[in-house]
Structure 1
Amino acid sequence: MDQASAFSFDMSYCGPPVLPAALWSRWNFDPTLLVALLVIAGLGFILTRQAGPHRRLAFATAWLAAAALYVSPLCALTVSLFSARVGHHVVLTMFVAPLLAISIPRQWARRASLLPALALSTAALWLWHSPNLYTGAFLAPAIYWAMQLSLLGTFTLLWLALIHADAPFHAGLAALLSAVQMGMLGALLVFAGDPLYLPHFATTQAFGLSPQDDQHLGGLIMWVPANLPLLALMLWRLGNVLGPDREAAS
């Protein structure tokens, strides 16, 4: 625990660990973030102004969810709890990313290939949840944003390929493989005998959790609820194969 006590959060993008009593005072009004969100909102409005209502709604919902992830006190909570950061990543990759994929024009989606998208998203998920790289995201804002943007980018690419792939069976299989690998990572965290993530060794007790309990909770979130959107898409795409229009779908 000496190493944990000496860990510095001076360069943590979301600030120092937060205590429960101060959580709702820890909104993030970073001017650079707010300007970036406004610019993204403007670009999204321009790109979707002639799109159908479902695409405009998907972009607006994705933008609101992303703003909540980084502006709300959840940003600070992810410094204290590994489970909160896992939940943050789940919302980013399983909610914001598919909504962005829906908002993107279909002709752009033709560039998304299933196998590279699956490989890149899997690599990003496992690498950023390896203890050393995970810890690095607390040591410099640039590493934090590399984590966030690479997870969002690779999973948006994956969802683009899953939703728009011409071969529904292959898309369903890719969704299943993505769910399996995410579940495997979650299971490893649930059954790990020791806490793995140094930044949280001394920050979870205020929330009534040991570092290992917090890690187990994070693994459980990744193992079960995080997989539900992928499994739903798998059933939808396989339904394209097994349904009455299977010949056209194949």
Structure 2
Amino acid sequence: MSNWQGSYCGPAPIPADLLSRWNIEPWALAILVTLALWAGRNRPGAAAIIVLAFAFLSPLCALSSALFSARVVHHVLLVAVAAPLFALSRPARRTTGVGLPFLQATVALWLWHAPVAYDAALGHMAVFWAMQATLFGSAYLFWRAVFSQPGGSGVGWVFLAYLAMGLLGAILTLAPNAVYATHATAPLLWGLSPLSDQQLGGLVMWMPAGLPFAVWGWMLARRAWREMGELQ
């Protein structure tokens, strides 16, 4: 088997082995260190590195090879927690348009959750990292643009981004059949059918994933309120 076959997170674990499945790869640690240097010495950047370390080094990574629902948690951490934290650590110097970054981030999210693209990403290392890079990169550019908007004008874009993820989650939750070949058997080891695992992942996208979006929306609304107070 080629070294490029399979996912960085490794094969699907059985429950008894999960806690031993840490991914302490030297090159992964090097990437995190590089990102930490790029983010700079600030709290949002440090928090983003912690989130990424949890996503890519902890047993969550291995669990996401077994369960689609765990992969959804992984992606939510990537695009709705780590990416906006990085955007706060490396803010735009001027107001930038949000429309194009929103479109890019939405297309990346939907494209990589199409069954063919998703299964390809979890079956080949290069495609896997292309998935991670485009999801994170497009999300970072979106949040950076949103946070650059004056007052609370970015709140609407945060809501639209949540709707884009929530709609995808609703479709996966309500789908009559499991659509990901990657998760055709592994969920059974965890007491879930492939369809129920997919439905759980869809529900995570649909509802709990709204929590980080609500936090960022509240932050922008609070910023707008403070700016209005300063103008009075």
TM-score by length of 2: 0.90
Seen in structure 2, the aligned counterparts of structure 1 residues 131 and 246 have a Cα distance that, compared at 3 Å, is farther
Structure-2 residue corresponding to 1:211? 194
2:161 maps to 1:178: yes
**CA apart distance, 1:230:** 2.1
Structure-1 residue corresponding to 2:19? 24
Give the distance between the partners of 2:220 and 2:26, measured in 1 at CA: 42
**CA apart distance, 1:42:** 3.3
- For the aligned residue pairs, the C-alpha RMSD in angstroms reads 2.3
Q: Which has the larger radius of gyration?
A: 1
Matches within 5 A, 1:90-169: 90-107=76-93, 110=94, 112-166=96-150, 168-169=152-153
Structure-2 residue corresponding to 1:73? 59
2:172 maps to 1:189: yes
**CA apart distance, 1:244:** 8.1
Whether the 8 Å contact between 1:101 and 1:156 is mirrored in structure 2 is yes
**CA apart distance, 1:228:** 2.2
Whether the 8 Å contact between 2:95 and 2:150 is mirrored in structure 1 is no
Seen in structure 2, the aligned counterparts of structure 1 residues 103 and 236 have a Cα distance that, compared at 3 Å, is closer
**Structure 1 portions without partners, runs of 5+:** 1-8, 50-55
Give the distance between the partners of 1:235 and 1:245, measured in 2 at CA: 15
**CA apart distance, 1:113:** 1.9
Whether the 8 Å contact between 2:151 and 2:227 is mirrored in structure 1 is no
2:5 maps to 1:13: no
Q: Deviations over 1:135-180 (max 9, x none)?
A: 01122111111111111111111111222212633x2221111111
Structure-1 residue corresponding to 2:217? 234
**CA apart distance, 1:241:** 6.2
AA at the equivalent of 1:21: A
- Structure 2 SS opposite 1:168: coil
Whether the 8 Å contact between 1:240 and 1:246 is mirrored in structure 2 is no
**Structure 2 portions without partners, runs of 5+:** none
Worse overlay, 78-87 or 157-166:
157-166
AA at the equivalent of 1:204: P
Structure-2 residue corresponding to 1:33? 28
Give the distance between the partners of 1:140 and 1:160, measured in 2 at CA: 30
AA at the equivalent of 1:227: G
Structure-1 residue corresponding to 2:182? 199
Give the distance between the partners of 1:172 and 1:86, measured in 2 at CA: 24
**CA apart distance, 1:234:** 3.4
Matched positions, count = 229
AA at the equivalent of 2:67: L
| Counterpart pick for 1:88 among 63, 74, 79 | 74
